[in-house]
Amino acid sequence: MPRIQQLTPAVVSQIAAGEVIERPSSVLKELLENSIDAGSTRIDIELEQGGTERLCVFDNGCGIFADDLPLAFSSHATSKLTHADDLFKIGTLGFRGEALASIGGVARVLLQSRPPECDHGAEIRCEGGELGTIRPWNGAVGTRIEVKHLFFNTPVRKKFLRAIPTELGHIIDTVIRLAMAYPTLHLTLKHNGKLIHEIPATMGLTERIGMFFGGDVRESLREIRSNPGGMVDLWGYIADPSCDRGNAKLQYLYVNGRWIRDRSLSHAIQEGYRNLIMVGRYPIAFLFLDIPPDQVDVNVHPTKAEVRFRDSGALFSLIRQTIAKTLLGSNAIPALTVPA
């Protein structure tokens, strides 16, 4: 009979990292969320080899004090949450204090930062969970994080990485999801020295949709908004039924600025288009829900891509009805009654 043993901290950190860091795009998601939480207005991303060799994020946010740099890499250390009660009114994208610890456990990371109130910045390295010393750094206000050689110390997980174009595709998806939720953010993305995306702060949401998904999608967008005064505010854009697709990839759903996946709410979108599109076809929708933080639990999934709602039935109806009403008011031609 095997005896029970305490796992070593190194194993614990690799298990924890496995929950959040699956591939370069998961690293990028965590870094971008930190930059947003830091109040950045500009974020520049540089990658090499789909982010597997090098992934670097620069921001102009609030920075980290030199003395706090080691804590940034320690697990369950965060500046975003203090009390247990705070868990039920989360207003930031991060709160678990796990991301940098996880990334530092499975890559070679250099963190450099300077808060606006400091004349000088500082830097620290964390490589495979080994923390270096704090050193002076002479950089601009904000934070710069460089993540190299992802999974260098976990060869089995490295083998799960896909070809560079696939990893780059996931990276671009991550950037698009964020760029749509924060349309006043200036974002740039470089891959192997080449500029792939430059998204200026002046480019609004519909322009961003046009840039990412094409002019025809943009042309067919209709604004959607729930009645004011409700506890939940639903707004965004939906496309004409005639602009339908063979999959649900162009359905984007955000809750309080966070991109999420939710089967029931995706079904509500589909139901809103009922009788307007054929079975097996999917509408295009970019929907944003602003919900009081105590009505949604974001602490159910390590990557926070799935959330739990207090009253998901009410949200289902809100989405279905608001879409149906918008389409009705916009003389959309029911596609199923038009002869093929």
Three-state DSSP string of 228-292: CCCCCEEEEEEECHHHCECCCCCEEEEECCEECCCHHHHHHHHHHCCCCCCCCCECCEEEEEECC
| Residue of this chain nearest to ligand ADP (CB atom) | 94
Single out the residue of 20, 21, 45, 100 in contact with ligand ADP (rule: CB under 6 A): 100
Smaller CB separation from Mg ion, 92 or 326: 92
CA pair distance 153, 108, nearest whole angstrom? 10
Tokens 């614990």 belong to 12
Smaller CB separation from Mg ion, 64 or 164: 64
Single out the residue of 27, 38, 99, 168 in contact with Mg ion (rule: CB under 5 A): 99
Q: Is 62 in the site for ligand ADP (CB under 6 A)?
A: yes
Smaller CB separation from ligand ADP, 143 or 322: 143
- Crossing angle of the two packed helices 312-329 and 263-272, in degrees rounded to 10: 30
If one counts every other C-beta atom within 10 angstroms of the C-beta of residue 17, the result is 25
If one counts every other C-beta atom within 10 angstroms of the C-beta of residue 89, the result is 10
Smaller CB separation from Mg ion, 97 or 293: 97
CA pair distance 305, 174, nearest whole angstrom? 12
Strands 251-255 and 194-199: unpaired
Single out the residue of 50, 94, 121, 272 in contact with Mg ion (rule: CB under 5 A): 94
C-beta separation of 41 from 315 below 8 A:
no
Smaller CB separation from Mg ion, 99 or 318: 99
Q: Is 178 in the site for Mg ion (CB under 5 A)?
A: no
Q: Is 99 in the site for ligand ADP (CB under 6 A)?
A: yes
Single out the residue of 14, 25, 35, 60 in contact with ligand ADP (rule: CB under 6 A): 35
Q: Is 97 in the site for ligand ADP (CB under 6 A)?
A: yes
| Stretch binding Mg ion (CB under 5 A), from 45-53, 97-105, 262-270, 298-306 | 97-105
Q: Is 94 in the site for ligand ADP (CB under 6 A)?
A: yes
For residue 221, the cross-strand partners are 239
Single out the residue of 25, 26, 60, 78 in contact with ligand ADP (rule: CB under 6 A): 78
Provide DSSP, 48-83. Answer: EGGGTSEEEEEE-S----GGGHHHHTSTT--SS--S
Q: Is 96 in the site for ligand ADP (CB under 6 A)?
A: yes
CA pair distance 110, 270, nearest whole angstrom? 45
Q: Is 34 in the site for Mg ion (CB under 5 A)?
A: yes
Q: Is 121 in the site for ligand ADP (CB under 6 A)?
A: no
For residue 113, the cross-strand partners are 122, 143
In Å, how far are 24, 153, 169, 190 from 50, measured between CA atoms?
Answer: 7, 19, 8, 10
CA pair distance 323, 224, nearest whole angstrom? 7
Q: Is 92 in the site for Mg ion (CB under 5 A)?
A: no
CA pair distance 187, 211, nearest whole angstrom? 13
Single out the residue of 16, 17, 55, 72 in contact with ligand ADP (rule: CB under 6 A): 72
Q: Is 80 in the site for ligand ADP (CB under 6 A)?
A: yes
Min dist CB 95 to Mg ion, Å, is 8
Single out the residue of 26, 27, 30, 316 in contact with ligand ADP (rule: CB under 6 A): 30
| Stretch binding ligand ADP (CB under 6 A), from 10-18, 58-66, 208-216, 332-340 | 58-66
Q: Is 79 in the site for ligand ADP (CB under 6 A)?
A: yes
Residue 255 contact partner, candidates Mg ion, ligand ADP, none, CB within 5 to 8 A by sort of partner? none
Contact set with Mg ion (CB under 5 A): 34, 94, 99
Chain residues binding ligand ADP by CB under 6 A are 30, 34-35, 38, 59, 61-64, 72, 78-80, 94-101, 143
